[in-house]
Chain A
């Protein structure tokens, strides 16, 4: 029996079709990566599973019950971290713990909060505010907050999209390790095919179409675990899988590209920089800082 189940889901925003006939079935404990072009509705798909968005048509089931809203059994790691800037690392994680484990005492909640902060190696930054942390550290807090609620499923929306390559690979390894340890069902939205292959049991390309994107049937990643990022690159099976996924994405890229552009290799998923969203005051401060530095030089 599938754990997360989407049946003929349709979704459009302001008359613009985003998803069409999306069917998906994920088993308990499975790690699924959904890869695709930017702006094809990957985040919408995740928000549907999270219960933040309702489908126009079709059904979203979680553990055989219809999803009617967000719930603590589905932890979400947002694309832009979504940490609360007025709270410390501890308080951000603790907020979720307090909301979920209402029957626990103060000491138990405290121990639990600290355990998950330790799991993402942020104990030294316990009292720091998000503005004092690097992008990678912020994302770790976001992961810790989601995990500390002890969800059965972890839904991650391009969690590493905004990070530099080095931090990205470190966090990929951490996510892999945490999954091994916690054995949660994980849905990872990503635009990085290699990331999907490295981490997931199944990579499902999201294919854009005129009436909204649809899901490909998916490619099973039958590589041995634990997967080592250094060795995997030389693994012929890895290269084969990689080629196949790119081919699926490229096919669809061709079919939606105007004829004169067909020679140009536009089929690859484009990685757009995903900038962290800043509040107005942060933007003003950033501007001021930039200005001050410029005049001082």
Chain B
């Protein structure tokens, strides 16, 4: 039982929990405690030292709106954001309760007319910003990947196409999201001139910029993965007389899957980094806009709020990367080749 759990943890990139499982099953507990001291103790020590140094240095750095906030201030800012969210949720609940009462009255008086339902229009709170950001980055990532993977497969299969496209790839790859943004804004605004756009313009602009900046690692790694298929495996396809479609789906894609996932993982990292800048400028109501709004209103809480956002952005980026590692390990036939 525990052996199976450990195997699953190892295969899904959660090897760090193995000593804990083994301790619970009392498998060489002394050894496990030592191991846990290393895998958990050292990171905790690192974080503690960081927080202490931060707390010491921050008050000494003066800005026009006060000193840099220390860990305590940031923590209370995070708590106030949470409290705000709770209060907003309460208001929303009260609003719908009120509306339900009005609806009952309305139906009693005008049974033939439908009730004019009004959704709650409160201001977005911190979790809403996070969800918007996640939704935007995911959309951009999917757009990017759905272009990059087929294109990468084509580049990997045909050396001529790869040579033809390589200068373009190398030219567009290092372009900053800030350079793409005005172009994306103008093009998308021109395309969505109608009065009732199906999606928010700012959302689409941010997602497209994320896609444009994040598709390159996937494209390059997919091409590399496809180009480095073992020749024997392609000979098998030839001898078995597989159709081109079957060759791609049964041999080319499975054998390049580890590198495709490496590319996707890098792309998601780039996409998440680019997203914040894109949201700031496009005014998409995600974490980027949150940071920008805080910067603009310049209250005594500003810096603490921005630091909460910084830490949130970092933690989410970390989580996204772990998810990609897990997916990579689950979908690849052999262990991960990618650097951690």
Could you list which residues of chain A lie within 8 angstroms of chain B, going by C-beta atoms?
A: 50, 52, 69-72, 74-76, 78, 80, 82, 84-87, 95-96, 99-100, 129, 131, 145, 149, 277, 279-282, 284-285
A85 near B333 (CB under 8 angstroms)? yes
Interface residues of B in 227-248 (CB under 8 A from A): 230, 232-233, 235-236, 238-243, 246
Give 6 nearest A-B pairs by CB, closest first.
A86-B333, A281-B334, A82-B232, A86-B254, A70-B239, A281-B337
Bound-state Cα–Cα, A284 to B257, Å: 17
In the complex, whether B255 has a CB less than 8 A from a CB of chain A is yes
Interface centre among B232, B236, B333, B335 (most CB of A within 10 A): B236
| A74: B residues at CB distance < 8 A | 239
Known: A70-B239, A281-B258. 13 other contacts (CB 8 A): A52-B235, A69-B238, A76-B235, A80-B232, A82-B236, A84-B250, A85-B333, A99-B243, A100-B240, A145-B240, A281-B335, A281-B336, A284-B335
A52 near B232 (CB under 8 angstroms)? no
Bound-state Cα–Cα, A82 to B336, Å: 21
Q: Pick from B238, B246, B251, B333: contact of A129, CB below 8 A.
A: B333
A285 near B246 (CB under 8 angstroms)? no
| A86: B residues at CB distance < 8 A | 254-255, 257, 333
A86 — nearest CB in chain B belongs to which residue? B333
Interface centre among B240, B243, B246, B257 (most CB of A within 10 A): B240
A151 — nearest CB in chain B belongs to which residue? B239
Contact with A along B255-276 (1 / 0, CB 8 A): 1011000000000000000000
Bound-state Cα–Cα, A74 to B239, Å: 8
B232 near A277 (CB under 8 angstroms)? yes
Bound-state Cα–Cα, A74 to B238, Å: 11
A285 near B233 (CB under 8 angstroms)? no
B232 — nearest CB in chain A belongs to which residue? A82
A96 near B334 (CB under 8 angstroms)? no
| A277: B residues at CB distance < 8 A | 230, 232
A149 near B240 (CB under 8 angstroms)? yes
Taking the closest CB of chain A, its distance from the CB of B18, in whole angstroms, is 13
| B337: A residues at CB distance < 8 A | 280-281, 284
Taking the closest CB of chain A, its distance from the CB of B253, in whole angstroms, is 10
| A281: B residues at CB distance < 8 A | 258, 334-337
| B255: A residues at CB distance < 8 A | 84, 86
Bound-state Cα–Cα, A280 to B232, Å: 15
A85 near B334 (CB under 8 angstroms)? yes
A96 — nearest CB in chain B belongs to which residue? B240
B239 near A76 (CB under 8 angstroms)? yes
| A282: B residues at CB distance < 8 A | 334
27 cross-chain CB contacts under 8 A: A52-B235, A70-B238, A72-B240, A76-B235, A76-B239, A78-B232, A78-B235, A78-B236, A82-B232, A82-B233, A82-B235, A82-B236, A84-B233, A84-B250, A86-B255, A87-B254, A99-B243, A129-B333, A131-B334, A280-B337, A281-B334, A281-B335, A281-B336, A282-B334, A284-B335, A284-B337, A285-B334
